[in-house]
Amino acid sequence: MDLKPRRGGGRKMFRGGLAIVVGISLIGLYFSCTVLQDTMNIDRLFHLATSGNEPGSANGADSYLVWSHKCQIPNLDPFDESIRKFATHAKPIICSSKPPLTYVTVVHEGAHKYLLKLNTSAVAHYAVHPENVNCCYSVVTRVNGPDGKEYSRTADNYYSVSECSDFDTEVALHSEEEFILVRCFKTTTRGTKREVYKNTHAVVPVKREVELKLNKSNFEGSSVEKKRLSVFVLGLDSVSRLNLLRTMPKTVHYLRRNGWLELLGYNKIGENTLPNLAAILMGLSQVQMKKQCWVSRYEKFDNCPFIWREFSSLGYVTAYAEDEPAGSTFNYHKTGFVVPPTDYYIRPFLLASEDKLPVKKRASLNVCLGPTPTSEHIFRYITDFATVFKSALYFGVCWINNFSHSSNAIPATVDERVALFFHQLNETGAFNTTFMIFLSDHGMRWGDIRRTSIGWFEERLPFIYIWVPEWFKQKHPDFYKNLKTNRNRLTSPFDLHLTLREILEGSRQGNTTWIPYGCPGCPKCVSLFSEVPAERDCEDAGITANWCTCNKYRPMPIEDEASQAIAFHILSEINSKLKKAANVSASCAELTLDHVISVKRKVPMVSHDDFIVTFDTFPGGAVFEATVRRSDGAFQLKGDISRINSYGNQSDCVDDAELKLYCYCT
**Count of domains forming the chain:** 2
**Do residues 362 and 378 both lie within one domain?**
yes
* Confidence at residue 13, expressed as pLDDT on a 0 to 100 scale: 35
List of long-range contacts for 216-220, beta carbons under 8 Å, 24+ apart: 216/315, 217/314, 217/315, 217/392, 217/393, 218/315, 219/315, 219/391, 219/392, 219/393
Is residue 178, in this structure, part of any structural domain at all? no
* Confidence at residue 328, expressed as pLDDT on a 0 to 100 scale: 95
pTM (2 decimals)?
0.89
DSSP 92: P
531-569 pLDDT, tens digit each? 999 999 999 999 999 999 999 999 999 988 889 999 999
* Confidence at residue 433, expressed as pLDDT on a 0 to 100 scale: 96
**Do residues 251 and 320 both lie within one domain?**
yes
DSSP 258: T
574-614 pLDDT, tens digit each? 999 998 886 676 789 999 999 999 999 998 767 788 999 99
Three-state SS for 102-134 is EEEEECCCCCCCEEEEECHHHHHHHCCCHHHEE
CB 134 within 8 A of CB 184: yes
Please, what is the average pLDDT of the chain? 87
408-439 pLDDT, tens digit each? 999 999 999 999 999 999 999 999 999 999 99
List of long-range contacts for 601-608, beta carbons under 8 Å, 24+ apart: 601/553, 601/554, 601/555, 601/556, 602/551, 602/552, 602/553, 603/552, 603/553, 603/554, 607/631
Write down which residue in 512, 547, 582 finishes a domain: 547
Write down which residue in 498, 526, 547 finishes a domain: 547
Its domain, for residue 568, covers 552-661
- Give dist(CA 499, CA 497) in Å, integer: 5
**Do residues 70 and 212 both lie within one domain?**
yes
Q: Which residues are registered as beta bridge partners of 230?
A: 434
**Do residues 233 and 345 both lie within one domain?**
yes
* Confidence at residue 52, expressed as pLDDT on a 0 to 100 scale: 41
* Confidence at residue 224, expressed as pLDDT on a 0 to 100 scale: 54
Is residue 177, in this structure, part of any structural domain at all? no
**Do residues 308 and 294 both lie within one domain?**
yes
Cα 519 to Cα 461, 522, 537, distances in angstroms: 22, 5, 17
Is residue 168, in this structure, part of any structural domain at all? no
CATH value at residue 586? 3.10.450.10
The residue-averaged pLDDT of 42-60 equals 43
620-661 pLDDT, tens digit each? 999 999 999 998 889 999 989 999 998 888 998 888 888 899
* Residue among 459, 244, 481, 327 at smallest CA distance from 8: 327
Residue with the larger pLDDT of the pair 445 and 648: 445
**Do residues 498 and 626 both lie within one domain?**
no
**Do residues 339 and 375 both lie within one domain?**
yes
- Give dist(CA 192, CA 251) in Å, integer: 49
Is residue 114, in this structure, part of any structural domain at all? no
Is residue 116, in this structure, part of any structural domain at all? no
Neighbouring residues of 232: CB distance < 8 A, sequence distance ≥ 6 = 382, 386, 394, 395, 396, 397, 398, 430, 434, 435, 436, 437
**Do residues 541 and 617 both lie within one domain?**
no
* Residue among 388, 352, 389 at smallest CA distance from 370: 352
CB 554 within 8 A of CB 601: yes
| pLDDT exceeds cutoff 50 at 102 | yes
High-pLDDT (> 90) share of the chain, %: 70
**Do residues 421 and 494 both lie within one domain?**
yes
CATH value at residue 51? 3.40.720.10
**Do residues 73 and 87 both lie within one domain?**
yes
**Do residues 516 and 558 both lie within one domain?**
no
**Do residues 516 and 588 both lie within one domain?**
no
* Residue among 398, 351, 352 at smallest CA distance from 379: 398
Is residue 259, in this structure, part of any structural domain at all? yes
Is residue 490, in this structure, part of any structural domain at all? yes
Burial of 221 (0-12, 13-18, 19+ CB in 10 A): exposed
* Residue among 333, 475, 370, 453 at smallest CA distance from 3: 333
- Give dist(CA 305, CA 309) in Å, integer: 8
Is residue 363, in this structure, part of any structural domain at all? yes
